[in-house]
Chains A and B, each alone.
Chain A
Amino acid sequence: MTTVLDLAGLSVDLPLGGFLSRARLPILQDVTLSVARGESVALVGESGSGKTTLARAVMGLQPISAGAVRFDGQPVTGPADHARLRRDAAMMFQDATASLSPRLTVGYLVTEPFRIHRQPLPDPARTARDLLAAVGLPAAIAQRYPHELSGGQARRVGVARALALRPRLLIADEPTAGLDVSVQAEVLNLLSDLRRDMGLAYLIITHNLALVRHVADRIVVLYLGRVVEEGPTAQVFAAPAHPYTASLIAAEPKPDPRKRRADLAIRGEVPSVLNRPKGCEFHTRCPMARDICRQMAPALAPTAPDRLARCHFPNQPQHKEDHHAVEH
């Protein structure tokens, strides 16, 4: 299988600020991941885990401090490479309505990528109609303005716009955030149809695990800017190797009143990147942390074929009895 996107040891630092200060804050550390042709990979983590920074770094919107990005086998280094990448890999933003210019019609918006990348556009009206049809919107919507669209329609226009230049990779940042359940299902079905019909690969950035289960072949879990677990989605959901992944899965509210949790899957908040815990960075919230976890950082290591986890004690069932004490 050929790789569309390949990140090797990607790191991103941000200046810490302060006059003449040279201190830098590590946001992403040594992230390696790849997306094959037609594959769908989900990048999962809480706010502040570096998910969005990773997408921005791939698109060239955020300078990288170490590591390499390859797209279609070609290294991406300078602005010219990024321009090519932005043509062949499209980005779908979280706030669909806000990412559409309010003064332009939908018809103009979906054909705008041709103008931005100076691609030939012989028949704009027809191209717009075809793109809108591909995402299941009526042609008449081309005359409308973004504020006249519903949340689901705006999301579809965002997809149509992303598809305009027939990309090979679609990077979607929280593609269903803020959508109603029934509309969310429509958008997910659309993404799976496009993958089947166009062989599109996806990098989906989300904290919604229900979505991941439906659209991703592989899942990559980030914690404080590091990959803590990676593996095939079905396997990871069935038996998470890292306690953080297990906590995320357990924390998800279940739409069944007979399966209420009496205990709390995970406590506390993500530590600040300004004050990273020593040893394993998850030990402050880990229900199974032992002495070694507080002292020595574990490495990302294979736990099974196709699976990696950054934990001293992977594949351990969580101790349920430890959770019963009520703490908020």
Chain B
Amino acid sequence: MTPVLSVENLSVAYRVPGGTLQAVRDVTLSVRRGEVLGIMGESGCGKSTLAAAMINLLPPGAVISQGAVRLNGTDMLTLPPAAQRALRGRSVAMVFQDPMTAFNPVLTIGRQLADFTGAQEPRLVDMLARVGIPDAARCLDRFPHELSGGMRQRVAIAAALLMQPEVLIADEPTTALDVTMEAQIIHLLRDLRTTFDGAIVIVTHHLGVIAELCDRVAVMYAGEVVEDGPVDAIFHDPQHPYTRALLACDPAVVDPASGRLPTIAGRLPDLTALPPGCAFLPRCTVALAACRTAPPQLRPAEGRSVLCHRGAA
């Protein structure tokens, strides 16, 4: 099946005092209808910039130095601004981390949903009920501050779905929520797969959320996708040394009796002055001589790929 949304060799940079910060570097990935893609990485790895590029909502300082973001084959980046606006929200919808900031605090939920989706009340009530809002009709008369964080997140998901988008992008959708509400939102998103026929992209640093929800995972480090593959392969047979290190230091998987938690020594390289070789080299425990001199090339293998000189083992 052809992908709904594909990112091809995309590079995005920000101009900063003293140089250019390479936030996203030569990223290629795609998501098909009915599929849930996870983009996983730590702060500063470029996952939010990538998500913003996917919905064509990059901040003014961002420069796209190469690549394309294709929606059903059409490169959104080359469209005139009016056509871009028409696609944004309608074909690609986004759910943010804190939905409080996404709503206007002085208008009721019903008024806002009607304004930005153009839907009539019966449809709004239906959709709110579908995302699990109890007493959906009354919810329309409420203001955003009257809802809990979990309820606001449900309303944000309902608002996105009302547009019948082809791609739904959720940036850290459960980070601001309690564990009980997080479980319920995960449950809702997973259940949506049976009724929503578009593609879902989940951007998060939370390994548990990725494992619970996604079909495929792209792991990002220093602006690059370092590993990409089916969720089971990524979690049970990680190939890239960064993926391995990241999975190993999650307190949820480490035996408490072992005392100390593994860490990843060192820090992210300076994205304004990248080294000539592999960006993960200074923190890598299995580096080769070649890692110092040349950047690794993406090695594809059976539905997955690894950006490492050692390649897929």
Chains A and B form a bound pair: yes
| Interface residue range, chain B | 35 or more
Which one of A185, A211, A261 contacts B249 once the chains associate, using CB atoms below 8 Å? A185
Which one of B208, B245, B260 contacts A189 once the chains associate, using CB atoms below 8 Å? B260
> With an 8 A cutoff between CB atoms, is B154 at the interface?
yes
Bound-state CA distance A184–B186 (Å) is: 23
Across the A-B interface, how many residue pairs have beta carbons closer than 8 Å?
Answer: 130
Residues of A within 8 A of B236 (CB): 256-258
Q: Which residue of the partner chain B has the closest CB to A266?
A: B180
Q: In the bound complex, do residue B251 and residue A264 qualify as a contact, i.e. CB atoms below 8 Å apart?
A: no
Q: In the bound complex, do residue B249 and residue A182 qualify as a contact, i.e. CB atoms below 8 Å apart?
A: yes
Stretch from A18-26, A244-252, A291-299, A311-319 forming part of the interface with B: A244-252
Task: Check A210/B251 contact, CB under 8 A, given A188-B261, A189-B261.
Answer: yes
Residues of A within 8 A of B188 (CB): 328
Interface mask (B255-284 → A, CB under 8 Å = 1, otherwise 0): 010011111100100000000000000000
Q: In the bound complex, do residue B182 and residue A251 qualify as a contact, i.e. CB atoms below 8 Å apart?
A: yes
> With an 8 A cutoff between CB atoms, is B183 at the interface?
yes
> With an 8 A cutoff between CB atoms, is A253 at the interface?
yes
Residues of A within 8 A of B246 (CB): 181-182
Q: In the bound complex, do residue A267 and residue B256 qualify as a contact, i.e. CB atoms below 8 Å apart?
A: no
Q: In the bound complex, do residue B184 and residue A180 qualify as a contact, i.e. CB atoms below 8 Å apart?
A: no
* Contacting residues of chain B (167-225) with chain A, CB-CB under 8 angstroms: 178-184, 186-188, 191, 205-212, 214
Chain B proximity of A57: nearest CB distance (Å): 22
Residues of A within 8 A of B187 (CB): 264, 326, 328
Max count, chain A CB within 10 A of own CB: residue among B188, B232, B236, B251:
B251
Q: In the bound complex, do residue B180 and residue A46 qualify as a contact, i.e. CB atoms below 8 Å apart?
A: yes
Task: Check A181/B184 contact, CB under 8 A, given A47-B178, A258-B236.
Answer: no
Residues of A within 8 A of B178 (CB): 46-47, 207
Chain B proximity of A159: nearest CB distance (Å): 16
Interface of chain B, main secondary structure? helix
Q: In the bound complex, do residue A213 and residue B251 qualify as a contact, i.e. CB atoms below 8 Å apart?
A: yes
Residues of A within 8 A of B43 (CB): 151, 180
Residues of B within 8 A of A79 (CB): none
Chain B proximity of A45: nearest CB distance (Å): 9
Q: Which residue of the partner chain A has the closest CB to B157?
A: A328
> With an 8 A cutoff between CB atoms, is B287 at the interface?
no
Q: Which residue of the partner chain A has the closest CB to B262?
A: A185
Bound-state CA distance A308–B150 (Å) is: 30
Bound-state CA distance A182–B181 (Å) is: 24
> With an 8 A cutoff between CB atoms, is A84 at the interface?
no
> With an 8 A cutoff between CB atoms, is B235 at the interface?
yes
> With an 8 A cutoff between CB atoms, is A265 at the interface?
yes
Q: In the bound complex, do residue A234 and residue B183 qualify as a contact, i.e. CB atoms below 8 Å apart?
A: no
Chain A proximity of B175: nearest CB distance (Å): 8
> With an 8 A cutoff between CB atoms, is A115 at the interface?
no
Bound-state CA distance A328–B184 (Å) is: 6
> With an 8 A cutoff between CB atoms, is B82 at the interface?
no
B residues near A, CB below 8 A? 42-43, 131-132, 148-151, 154, 178-184, 186-188, 191, 205-212, 214, 231-232, 235-236, 245-247, 249-254, 256, 259-264, 267
Interface pairs (11), CB distance under 8 Å: A46-B179, A46-B181, A180-B42, A180-B205, A185-B249, A210-B251, A253-B208, A257-B231, A258-B232, A260-B212, A265-B183
16 further interface pairs, Cβ-Cβ under 8 Å (given A182-B249, A184-B251): A46-B180, A46-B181, A151-B43, A181-B246, A183-B42, A185-B261, A189-B260, A189-B261, A208-B179, A214-B254, A252-B179, A253-B211, A254-B252, A257-B236, A260-B211, A261-B212
Q: Which 10 A-B pairs have the closest CB atoms?
A: A328-B132, A253-B208, A185-B261, A180-B42, A251-B183, A255-B207, A210-B252, A210-B251, A182-B264, A185-B249
